[in-house]
Chain A
């Protein structure tokens, strides 16, 4: 088991009130492709970030179990986290417009990730960076390496992000809505790329998204989150057998070419879902 989480809670405390954004989430991830799906505000991003301790300062994290490869991450020090971040766990953010350093060239950013964990000379790191850019299927990698992030398209920027995070050869990749900021045509390409690379390297994948059908094609297991809890956890192939009304509602309101309907059903929310126990 790469990741073991039990009863994870993330709370934000302000002067007047405390808001619990993640309310008792539990799951395990091995060398598989695991998806966390939910709408905005369901707490899926926070769950992923709490694993790497990349939450904003005011967030309070607590869990019964929070382990990576057997290492207890609860209250782990920065030096322990730094042995994990990058080297063993990669993290892809959503929008390359903001998540890439605007004043460093693409090549420099990837080379830095390489050099930090593998050492070597600057030249070797830059050559490796160019090699990685080719692995993520960027044409003319040497020229792109000299460019700045604002000079490339969104899809290319996300490929750069993937290359940067795969440089140290991690065991697990966490992708936080990697395609949400991209055009629809590019989304499938990027997911396919992630899929191929993760399979080829034998890595685990935690994919976070709000797009249920998209992830069900690429992942082995899916967790559906609502209001800070996991309401359903099943294999991707068995989605049509979903039992929770929220999941059923999500699946039902997807338009289908094969079974066209005059009116799409609307998801009716039930307040009881907020208090549902996790599976």
Chain B
């Protein structure tokens, strides 16, 4: 059964890649720092603590033994402990990740809903002023750091126009007032029937989501345009036109379906990129998500959360890619 064989080899490949990720993060966390102990406890820790942690971390043992321990810990879900929060890193991540996912998910939905039609439009009207305008907008998205746009947005909408709410996910009055079900504040507040909380959460989300959406849109639109230009030059498009079909039908029922499946891979890549954009955006908007966790730990040289969060993001990306690959295989009749 070729499908089974394919799945097994894909799974093997996945495991190998995840293993490689753990090697890399081990390298970053234990091997690279000039003194991993100091990196873990900070420069100002008393000598006794340093010695204790050194033995605890097993740094007196050979590297491969250390890696074995690391891998063992990983498989048990132990990502170490954060100095700042003094919680296990895994539980910290579980607490902060949903906030980032909420941003990323909303952003990618908006980016796809706007970006894909724009890309199709640019391809259909190649060389026209519409095409040029769209390309310039996308190019600007590639030329700006996320934090610059975030700062500008803050300046414009918060300081100058005064229509945006303050920092954070919600106004203080709503803090801890909505029972946690999914970790997505918008969903949770709807489930609890707290409509004011919902609007508040939405208002706070608006800026970071729109900024992240703009950046992902730049990539999505460009790839859609490239794919569609390719599809529109195919002979089967001439056939469709020769059949007397309307332009709309030719574009959306004939050309677009041939690229739809490639767009799934693009969206998977974009989602991972969003996690990267979230790091800086959360910093600017004081959003309590994974990015904020990462940068705060960074600034305090708290290595365990840094390594843990990096590993998580890498793993998510690899899994998303595999998923996209799987969808591609299932969906595209040419690959079957």
Contacts and interface: CB of A to CB of B under 8 A. Distances in A.
Q: Indicate yes or no for A touching B, C-beta below 8 A.
A: yes
A86 B243 contact: yes
Q: Which of B243, B257, B333 has the most CB of A within 10 A?
A: B243
Given A101-B254, A102-B258, A103-B332, A164 B243 contact: yes
Interface in A95-121: 95, 98-104, 112-113, 116-117
Contacts of A148: 333-334
B258 A85 contact: no
Interface string A164-177: 11001000000000
B236 A101 contact: yes
A99 B243 contact: no
Contacts of B238: 54, 91, 93, 99
A83 B234 CA distance: 23
Interface stretch (B19-27, B105-113, B244-252, B298-306): B244-252
A9 interface: no
A83 B240 CA distance: 14
A98 B247 contact: no
Contacts of B236: 98-102
A150 B247 CA distance: 25
Interface string B5-29: 0000000000000000000000000
A104 B257 CA distance: 9
A82 interface: yes
B234 A116 contact: no
A102 B242 contact: no
B239 A82 contact: no
Contact of A101 (B239, B244, B246, B332): B239
A87 interface: yes
A85 B235 contact: no
Nearest to A86: B244
B303 to A, nearest CB: 49
Interface string A22-52: 0000000000000000000000000000001
Interface in B208-224: none
Contacts of A90: 242
B264 to A, nearest CB: 14
A116 B247 contact: no
Contact of A54 (B241, B258, B333, B334): B241
Contact of B243 (A94, A98, A112): A112
Interface of chain B, main secondary structure: helix
B227 to A, nearest CB: 13
B313 to A, nearest CB: 34
A78 interface: yes
Contacts of A78: 247
A161 B244 CA distance: 14
A65 to B, nearest CB: 22
B214 to A, nearest CB: 31
A186 to B, nearest CB: 19
Contact of B242 (A83, A112, A150, A165): A165
Given A98-B234, A102-B334, A103-B333, A112 B245 contact: yes
A86 B242 contact: yes
B334 A150 contact: yes
Contact of A95 (B235, B254, B257): B235
A69 B239 CA distance: 22
Contacts of A94: 235
Contact of B244 (A95, A98, A104, A168): A168
A116 to B, nearest CB: 6
A23 B235 CA distance: 25
Contacts of A84: 244
Interface string B68-98: 0000000000000000000000000000000
Interface in B305-336: 332-334
Contact of B239 (A93, A103, A117): A93
Nearest to A170: B244
A91 B242 contact: yes
Contacts of B254: 101, 104
A102 B258 CA distance: 8
A85 B334 contact: no
Contacts of B332: 103
Given A98-B234, A102-B258, A103-B257, A116 B243 contact: yes
A160 to B, nearest CB: 11
Contacts of B244: 82-87, 116-117, 168
A63 B72 CA distance: 79
Given A102-B258, A103-B333, A150-B334, A54 B234 contact: no
Contacts of A101: 236, 239-240, 254, 258
Contacts of B239: 91, 93, 99-101, 161, 164
A91 B238 CA distance: 9
A112 B244 CA distance: 10
Contacts of B243: 85-86, 112-113, 116, 164-165
- 9 closest residue pairs by CB, A with B: A86-B244, A91-B242, A85-B244, A98-B235, A99-B235, A86-B243, A101-B236, A148-B333, A99-B239
Given A93-B235, A100-B236, 15 more contacts: A52-B242, A82-B244, A85-B244, A91-B238, A91-B239, A98-B235, A101-B240, A103-B257, A103-B334, A113-B243, A116-B243, A117-B244, A164-B239, A165-B242, A165-B243
9 contacts: A85-B241, A86-B245, A93-B239, A99-B239, A100-B239, A103-B332, A104-B257, A148-B334, A165-B243
Interface of B: 234-236, 238-247, 254, 257-258, 332-334
Interface of A: 52, 54, 78, 82-87, 90-91, 93-95, 98-104, 112-113, 116-117, 148, 150, 161, 164-165, 168
